[in-house]
Structure 1
Amino acid sequence: MKPTFIFPKQAGVAIIAALMVAALVASVAGLLMLRQQRALQQLEIRKDTAEARAATWSVLQLVRLTLRDDARAGQPDHLLKPWAVPIPEIKIENGAMSGRLTELNGRFNLANLLDKDGQLNPLGVAAFKKLLSNLGLPANLADNLAKHLQSKAVKENDKSKILPLVDVNELNQIEGFSIDIVRQIEPSIVALPVPTTLNVNFVSAEVLAAWVPKLSVSAAEQALTKRRSKYFSNVSELVDQLPKDSEVPQAMLAVNSQFFWADMGARFGKVFLQHRALLDRSKSEMPTVLWVRRIY
């Protein structure tokens, strides 16, 4: 039998082929391992996201219960209430959660630009003009807003009805307003679904002066200084601090609040979720959740 000879050139090809097969096998194995690793990471993220959402829901229910119990006490709402203190981040198993309630009846409610019939409220428009002036902004922006609201009017039972703004950021769509202007007035305003009274224990001097025709911002600041030592138990206690000729619209003022923002944060693993809910405490014993939005 004749021996088989492998020439150097053939041996080189065989070696290269073997190396290519080995590289291919290694590449496929590496790809499979990478896919498996990514699948495990995605599974972990989904697990953390589910836990974060569950924690957010728990914080929301806790906040609702807190506001319900507070309403049962029947006391004025003020800055020293337990719910007014933010909940710091609390460590729990595998994560952490936090919460904060923001009172909204102390702000200028843009829904007060309309009356109960869905028409422009002249007193509300005048108050918004004064608020803009108090904040160092052009008062004519209120007229632009009024025109925008009128352009949104809808027919209801053969009558024209104006719908309130859904969100403060809608102001960015109105002529004359800008991101900087909206950012400047945002701490003083809110867009709620219905007109509201003004809680004098949370209202700023600029907003209070806006609703009292003959009241200056400095006079409003002086009247509100009493809150530093004790909150107002009733509206009369504030009125007594104001100049006698202020023409105070007492029906517009109150010491209780119905609307709140609940900001809820949850952190699990690499997942951090932050949601904001609008709560209405005026319609039922348990505050109603009007909407929930993810803000981070």
Structure 2
Amino acid sequence: MNTRSLNRRPQRGAALLLAMLIVTLVATLAAGMVWQQWRAIEVESAERARTQSAWLLGGALDWARLILREDARDGGGDALTEPWATGLAEIRLSTFLAADKDNTQDTGLDAFLSGDIVDANSRYNLRNLATDDEETAKRELLAFTRLCDALGLPAAVAQRIAEAMAVSSEAEDLVENSQKAQASAPIRPQRVAQLRWLGLDQPTIDRLAPYVTILPNTSKVNLNTASPEVLMSVMDGLDRSSAQRLVQQRAQLKKGFASVSDAAKALGDKFGNSANAWAKAADFRSDYFEVTGQLRYEDSVLREVSLVQRQGAEVRVLWRERLSK
């Protein structure tokens, strides 16, 4: 073997190594480009899905606003016997597409939309506890204490929430008036779930949730939609049996009781003189409603809750919140 052949071997080895390095580099770059493209597609798909789900859930909200506007045009009180309280049963989205004469394609989209409307005025409004009027504050605390007692909760829970709502309201008033608020003043909860800020445990919040709400302003309870527990709390002197009888009697009326006086009369002579006192905390109409929309697609379930305020024929959205699974 001559010297020239021996010199060519290292050169061929170096060339082969260089070729392998180039192939490896090209493969790495190609893999990186593929991964970047896949990631961009995933991000775009997720954003498209989020946008589409928000649009579809907005459809449930639009349905609720339409129902509430039509109900306002009918006039009268608000009761659980009206169409808005029926809710939107789960329906396949392709049903809506099939109703469109210009759409002749079967999308095969197995997505289902449902929704319901809950009268927020059927619950005790914790905002009522934050008042500067001493007499009203005592009456509201007594009412909320009765509600806690009916739910099997200690009176200390009512006292804690009332004090926190009052202090946080004072702090917000100071901020609005450009005055310095106390750093230790709690932030006023805007949702019932936020009562955790006041140091309440989750079981207590879960127990209160179906019976209380937090609205932007003070409000009265709708006696045509409230539960017996809430009726007992705000209508002084009303026992459980009378509250349940009131619920049964209103269910037989198309739009519930037309006034607080009618409700008192329906309960008999025992409560005949209670209408004036009850009118301070109870009414037969509602201004606030919670709308829940649910979108079910394959294994995913998306839920969104909104608070709307109805003023005449106008239904305004105050807030929207996507619920966790």
Task: Tell me the TM-score normalized by structure 1.
Answer: 0.82
Q: Is residue 288–residue 308 contact of structure 2 (8 Å, CA) maintained in 1?
A: yes
**CA gap 1:265/1:9 in 2 versus in 1, 3 angstroms:** farther
Which residue of structure 2 aligns with residue 285 of structure 1?
313
Distance 1:22 1:119 in 2: 85
Matched, 1:142 2:179: no
* Matching residue within 291, 296, 304 for 1:262: 291
Matched, 1:167 2:191: yes
Which residue of structure 1 aligns with residue 129 of structure 2?
113
Which structure dedicates a bigger proportion of its chain to helix?
2
Distance 1:263 1:211 in 2: 26
Report the Cα offset of residue 272 of structure 1. Answer: 6.2
**CA gap 1:23/1:97 in 2 versus in 1, 3 angstroms:** same
**CA gap 1:243/1:157 in 2 versus in 1, 3 angstroms:** farther
* Matching residue within 118, 127, 140 for 1:102: 118
Which sections of structure 2, spanning at least 5 residues, go unmatched? 95-106, 179-186
Which residue of structure 2 aligns with residue 253 of structure 1?
282
Task: Tell me the TM-score normalized by structure 2.
Answer: 0.76
SS of residue in 1 equivalent to 2:244 = helix
Question: Aligned letter for 2:20?
Answer: L
Matched, 1:151 2:151: no
Matched, 1:132 2:152: no
Q: Superposition pairs for residues 60-99 of structure 1, below 5 Å?
A: 60-87=61-88, 88-92=90-94, 96-99=112-115
Question: Aligned letter for 1:91?
Answer: L
**CA gap 1:224/1:271 in 2 versus in 1, 3 angstroms:** closer
Which residue of structure 2 aligns with residue 240 of structure 1?
265
Report the Cα offset of residue 204 of structure 1. Answer: 0.8
Distance 1:170 1:120 in 2: 25
Mean alpha-carbon deviation: is it higher for 14-23 or for 194-203? 14-23
Matched, 1:189 2:212: yes
Report the Cα offset of residue 264 of structure 1. Answer: 2.7
SS of residue in 1 equivalent to 2:53 = helix
Distance 1:165 1:13 in 2: 72
1:178-201 deviations in Å (ceiling 9; x for gaps): 221111011000011122222222
1:108-154 deviations in Å (ceiling 9; x for gaps): 11122245869962111110011111111111322222322332213
Distance 2:191 2:218 in 1: 14
Q: Is residue 53–residue 273 contact of structure 1 (8 Å, CA) maintained in 2?
A: no
Q: Is residue 291–residue 305 contact of structure 2 (8 Å, CA) maintained in 1?
A: yes
Mean alpha-carbon deviation: is it higher for 240-249 or for 210-219? 240-249
Report the Cα offset of residue 274 of structure 1. Answer: 3.4
Distance 2:156 2:291 in 1: 33
Mean alpha-carbon deviation: is it higher for 113-122 or for 38-47? 113-122
**CA gap 1:253/1:245 in 2 versus in 1, 3 angstroms:** same
Report the Cα offset of residue 96 of structure 1. Answer: 4.8
Report the Cα offset of residue 65 of structure 1. Answer: 2.1
Report the Cα offset of residue 29 of structure 1. Answer: 1.2
Root mean square deviation, CA, Å = 3.4
User: Structure 1 vs Structure 2: percent identity of aligned residues?
Assistant: 26
